[in-house]
Amino acid sequence: MPGNPLTDPNWASDLADLIDLYVGKVRKAVTERAVTVVRAVVFGIIIFIALPVGVTLLVILLTKFLQALIGLATDHDSSVWISYMVIGIALVIGGAVMMRKRYEHEHA
């Protein structure tokens, strides 16, 4: 009778293979999910920290570029305040557009 562990000589290795199969499936499923969650958390933290820094550096770069461009036509002092005004107006308009779109889906 092959189902009887007392008479089946391979029952120990078959049982060990079966346990190994299911433990491997569970480990694979849990490990893959845990790795995905940890990666999402780590990349989320990196983006959360890097995005404001990147936007700030981009605004500074844009301001300096605008100062150099305007500086070709005027003196340095004028190019500085004109670039500040242009960047400020652009940021205010961008903020106003975002504030306007904030509740756009509720009015429809």
At 90, phi and psi to the nearest 5?
Answer: -60, -40
**Number of independent structural domains in the chain:** 1
Is residue 4 in a domain? no
With bands split at pLDDT 50, 70 and 90, how would you rate the model's confidence at 1? Answer: very low
Is residue 24 in a domain? yes
With bands split at pLDDT 50, 70 and 90, how would you rate the model's confidence at 87? Answer: very high
Is residue 1 in a domain? no
Is residue 2 in a domain? no
Identify the pLDDT of residue 102: 87
Identify the pLDDT of residue 15: 84
Is residue 5 in a domain? no
Is residue 91 in a domain? yes
Q: Say yes or no to pLDDT of 50 above 90.
A: yes
- Mean pLDDT rounded to a whole number for the chain: 89
Domain region containing 69: 11-107
Is residue 3 in a domain? no
